[in-house]
Amino acid sequence: MSSSKCTKFRTEPFEYNAALVCRDVPASLAAHALRREWSEVDLQVTRDEQAGYLAALRKVDVEFAVVEPNEEFPDCVFVEDCAVVVEGRALITRPCAASRRKEVDEIRRILRDDLRQKIYEIEDADATLDGGDVLFTGEEFFVGISKRTNSQGAMALAKAFPNYSVSSIKITDQLHLKSMMSMAGPGILAIGRSKEAKSALQQILQKSNFDYCTLTLPDDEAANCVYVKGFLLHCTKQEYPESYKVFEEKFPNDVRIPIPNSELHKVDGGLTCRCILVQKPF
Ligand code: GLY
- Based on the residue annotation, tell me whether 32 is a catalytic residue of this protein: no
**pLDDT digits 0-9 by tens, 16-36:** 999 999 999 999 999 999 999
Q: Which of 176, 213, 225, 265 is catalytic?
A: 176
Q: Whose CA is nearest to atom 3 of ligand 1?
A: 34
**pLDDT digits 0-9 by tens, 146-177:** 999 999 999 999 999 999 999 999 999 999 99
CATH code for 18-278?
Answer: 3.75.10.10
Boundaries of every domain in the chain: 18-278
**Given ligand 1 and candidates 46, 78, 178, 179, which is best to mutate, with the most ligand atoms within 8 Å of its CB?**
78
pLDDT band at residue 5 using 50, 70 and 90 as cut-offs: very low
For the four alpha carbons of 213, 218, 219 and 225, in that order, the dihedral sign comes to negative
Residue 4: per-residue pLDDT: 46
**pLDDT digits 0-9 by tens, 63-90:** 999 999 999 999 999 999 999 999 999 9
Ligand 1 centroid to 269 CA: how many Å? 7
Atom of ligand 1 nearest to the CA of 78: 2
**126 contact partners, CB below 8 Å, separation of at least 6:** 150, 152
- Based on the residue annotation, tell me whether 176 is a catalytic residue of this protein: yes
Ligand 1 centroid to 10 CA: how many Å? 32
**pLDDT digits 0-9 by tens, 256-272:** 999 999 999 999 999 99
pLDDT band at residue 209 using 50, 70 and 90 as cut-offs: confident
**φ/ψ of residue 8, rounded to 5:** -80, 120
**Given ligand 1 and candidates 268, 271, 272, 274, which is best to mutate, with the most ligand atoms within 8 Å of its CB?**
268
Angstrom distance (rounded) from CA 33 to CA 37: 11
Angstrom distance (rounded) from CA 145 to CA 128: 10
* 196 or 4, greater pLDDT: 196
- Give the up-direction half-sphere exposure of residue 26: CA atoms within 13 A in the CB hemisphere: 19
- CA dist 15 to 72, 151, 280, Å? 33, 29, 10
Q: Of the candidates 280, 247, 278, which has an alpha carbon nearest to the alpha carbon of residue 116?
A: 280
- Give the up-direction half-sphere exposure of residue 56: CA atoms within 13 A in the CB hemisphere: 29
Q: Whose CA is nearest to atom 5 of ligand 1?
A: 34
Angstrom distance (rounded) from CA 269 to CA 282: 31
